[in-house]
Structure 1
Amino acid sequence: MTHQPTQDERRPANDGRKAAARNRAALIAAAREIYADSGLNAPLSAIARRAGVGQGVLYRHFPDRAAVATAVLEENVRQIEQVAAEPGAGIVRVLGVLTWHQTQSAAFISLLHAEGAGGGTGVPAYASALSERVERALRAHLPAGHPLAGERDDLMVAVAMVSGAVTGPTREHRERRALAAWRLLGVEVGPVLPLED
């Protein structure tokens, strides 16, 4: 007669892939929070602590600082690309979503300064690539004669200028400053909202 183990005697199932997916999601969420406050140079150890995992777990998912930053910032850029791809979306709507991300995250502002401030020199490859994707999404909606449709670099220089104005203790304060900067540049911006999934 074979003994069937009772529920209490069974070994718990190995969560392997589920645990890995949960850890990755927790790391990205923690990095998003820390980067929003401190920018892209925040210590990776702080991200691991906030996620409730060890640094070894962080490095299993993300081999370096660039990989963590890319995973976090990819979502911001994806939303801007997604709204730019909506039928009938105009530059005003795309700038509204862009401005929302500017008011939310110091890390996103750092990304937009990667190329916009005349860069290229010393700019990490991931930041440059993501910045270029933002520029393409915006440029696709610029009508002729728009204030941002001037010289080749004007668009991202203007975005970097607005990013520089996005300072203050609250999101509302940062939003007011961003909208004031756009207004001073003669640019209309739609509602400052995230893209709804």
Structure 2
Amino acid sequence: MTQRSLPDDRRPANEGPRAAARNRAALVAAAREVYAESGLTAPLSAIARRAGVGQGVLYRHFPDRAAVAIAVLEENVRQIERAAAADGADLAQVLGVLTWHQTESAAFVSVLHAEGEGSPSGIPAYALALSRRVERALRRLLPDGHRLAAEPDDLMIAVGMVSGAVTGPTREQRERRALAAWRLLGVEVGPVRPFEE
């Protein structure tokens, strides 16, 4: 059977790299939602469906399940870094962004528990690197004499303690528990929401 070509005015435009970037962003956003609902073991086909693309497009951007998870975690960390670098940023605001990510992602919580190199925990190097980036972003905003700056490890111990409190079947319950944990630590937290530029 011979296919007739469409006239130029009826052919969809090839958007090339723009479509690729848009598809990747849609896949990361879809993965965040699917992981929040079903955990990291959710089928990759569910992520592709939610993003509105075929599985072939997913595999073009991400060769395996780990690559999808790393992309989502990387975006979480980037949001925290952008929030910390924003004009007028303060620790409470950035802790609000961090807390939003904690309540949205169990995988992100595990990254925040990454221990130092050589630890027997078996935590992958990428998780340790992401955890250190979060620490650097927060540490830059710590005022002198802040309770989380008393000892070198206090900041990430507090983050880990709050992460441990982030439990519950709904995002609202997890947020309520996270805010209670920060309050018990005597730390002010701004609005719990994603960073928007």
Aligned residues: 192
TM superposition shift of 1:137: 0.5
1:118-138 alpha-carbon deviations (Å, 9 max, x no partner): 967321222221111101001
CA distance in 2, matches of 1:148, 1:9: 62
3-state SS, counterpart of residue 121 of structure 2: coil
Mapped to 1, the partners of 2:119 and 2:154 lie a distance apart of: 13
2:63 maps to: 63
SS of equivalent residue, structure 1 residue 114 = coil
TM-score (norm 1): 0.80
CA offsets, 1:129-148, max 9 Å, x none? 11111010011111233221
Q: Aligned in 2, Cα 1:173/1:6: closer, same or farther, shift over 3 Å? A: closer
1:123 is aligned to 2:111: no
Q: CA deviation at 1:59?
A: 2.1
Larger CA deviation: 8-17 vs 187-196: 8-17
Change over 3 Å in CA distance of 1:180–1:140 after alignment to 2: same
In 2, the alpha carbon distance for the partners of 1:114 and 1:29 equals 24
**Distance in 1 (alpha carbons) for counterparts of 2:146 and 2:6:** 72
Q: Percent identity?
A: 79
For 1:191, the equivalent position in structure 2 comes to 191
- TM-superposed CA distance for 1:66, in Å, is 3.1
Where structure 2 has 5 or more consecutive residues not aligned to the other structure, the ranges are none
**Matched residues in 1 for 2:67 and 2:183: separation?**
35
Q: Give me the whole-angstrom Cα distance separating, in 2, the residues matched to 1:150 and 1:108.
A: 25
CA distance in 2, matches of 1:44, 1:160: 29
Quick one: which amino acid aligns to residue 97 of structure 1? Answer: V
Q: Answer yes or no: is 1:110 the counterpart of 2:110.
A: yes
Which deviates the most, 94-103 or 15-24?
15-24
The answer to which of 85-94 and 47-56 deviates more is 47-56
User: Is 2:115–2:121's contact at 8 Å kept on the other side of the alignment?
Assistant: no
Residue 73 of structure 1 aligns with an amino acid whose one-letter code is L
* Residue aligning to 2:72: 72
Structure index of larger Rg:
1
The CA distance in 1 between the partners of 2:49 and 2:11, in whole Å, is 29
The amino acid of 2:82's aligned partner reads: Q
